[in-house]
Amino acid sequence: MTEATLKTLLEGITPPDEAARAAAHAHWASLAKPLGGLGALETTLESAAALTGSAALDLSKRAVLVLCADNGVVAQGVSQTDQSVTRTVAENLAARRTSVCQMARTARCEVVPVDMGMAGEPVPGVRNCRVASGTTDFTQGPAMRREQAVEAVAKGIALVREQKAQGVTLLATGEMGIGNTTTSSAVAAVLLGQPVECMTGRGAGLSDEGLARKINAIQRGIAVNQPDPDDALDVLAKLGGFDIAGLCGVFLGGALEGVPVLMDGFISGVAALCAVRLCPAATKAVFASHCSSEPAARLVLEALGKAPLITAGLHLGEGTGAVAAIPLWDMALAVYRNCYSFADGGLTPYTPQGGAGC
């Protein structure tokens, strides 16, 4: 896909269906419970209705896309481990042994590991969408070519279309890639115009010395590449990773195909931010799951205008936070579909009273 084709495609993303949102809201109001009593669980389903165009929600088939990629910046000592760990975890994802696999089993969610650009040979059982065998070290120049960023975004969109064709109606996002909190912090710092120190955390547990190296590497990468904060593709190409670019495409694909996409933590949040910068209308497909303990996670959520369902200090990755939110969607749907109405119970419905809150 060329950049021009991508731009034309994104112009087809329509605004949310406000009639469907209103219908879902009216249905909630008809149920025998306090108005808005389930808070964000209600508005989440209303937003899902606005995305899908129907208040009759079916979210029974779900999958978590775990995008795996390696990042050349690990050469700068920005992580505790080397990039061989990316491959090891991908192998265990394929064997359904990792943390997200155990959680997904409970949430009745399929795990789909995807190779967006890992070093070495393809891993059996991992969907091969690789753009290249990892990015280059962004302290020495762009992490990838602009055309590669477009390719990765396009492959993310194609993944959503593939999943929808298989009947999937709810997607969660995940990632695995040593060094990807470094790439995410770099991209977020530029897009949000924030100091690198404010946007950079310890990732999987860096020491003070390691954190200092990480911050320095990001500062050097920004200085060397001079990314344009008004051009999300430029920022992605110069500082990002294939996993982030692919996830950006997943959010865009959700908006194009009417499939809700659950954002995981900081890394997929940065990908969602890139998607919304590329196409503001894509925000309708982005659903926050939790607020990561990474320092910049809340800033990214605020920039997206999204509120998390869970605040539990999660920072594992793999899509664990997004999958953890799925049972909350299920419980909301159970009430939405099965709770008796005021009419069924012979009760007088609540009516909005207005007035200031406490």
Range(s) of the chain covered by CATH 1.10.1610.10: 3-56+335-345
CATH fold for domain 3-56+335-345: 1.10.1610
**What are 256-301's pLDDT values in tens digits?**
999 999 999 999 999 999 999 999 999 999 999 999 888 899 999 9
Q: Can 11 be counted among the known catalytic residues?
A: no
Q: Mean pLDDT over all residues of the chain?
A: 95
Q: Are 339 and 32 in contact (CB under 8 A)?
A: yes
pLDDT tens digit sequence for 221-262: 999 999 999 999 999 999 999 999 999 999 999 999 999 999
Q: The tokens 């059996």 sit on which residue?
A: 124
Alpha helices by DSSP H, listed for 193-231, are: 196-199, 208-225
What tens digit of pLDDT does each residue of 296-344 get? 999 999 999 999 999 998 989 999 999 999 999 999 999 999 999 988 8
Predicted pLDDT of residue 70: 98
Annotated catalytic residue within 42, 151, 175, 318: 318
Question: What are the b/e assignments for 73-92, b being 16+ CB within 10 Å?
Answer: bbebebbeeebebbbebbbb
Return the axis-axis angle of helices 40-52 and 18-30, rounded to nearest 10°: 140
Q: Indicate if the pLDDT at residue 192 is higher than 80.
A: yes
Q: How confident is the model at residue 349 (pLDDT cuts 50, 70, 90)?
A: confident
Q: What is the pLDDT of residues 98-143, one digit of tens each?
A: 999 999 999 999 999 999 999 999 999 999 999 999 999 999 999 9
Q: Which of 233, 223, 74, 238 is nearest to 143 (CA)?
A: 238
Instruction: Please tell me what DSSP assigns to residue 284.
Output: G
Q: How far apart are CA 80 and CA 204, in angstroms?
A: 7
The pLDDT score that the predictor gives to residue 336 is 98
Structure tokens at 183: 């790439």
Closest by CA to 126, choosing from 147, 101, 108, 106, is 101
Q: Pinpoint the residues of the chain covered by CATH 3.40.50.10210.
A: 62-331
Distance of CA 9 to the CA centre of its chain: 20
Instruction: Report pLDDT digits (tens) over 25-38.
Output: 999 999 999 999 99
- The CATH class for the domain spanning 62-331 reads alpha beta
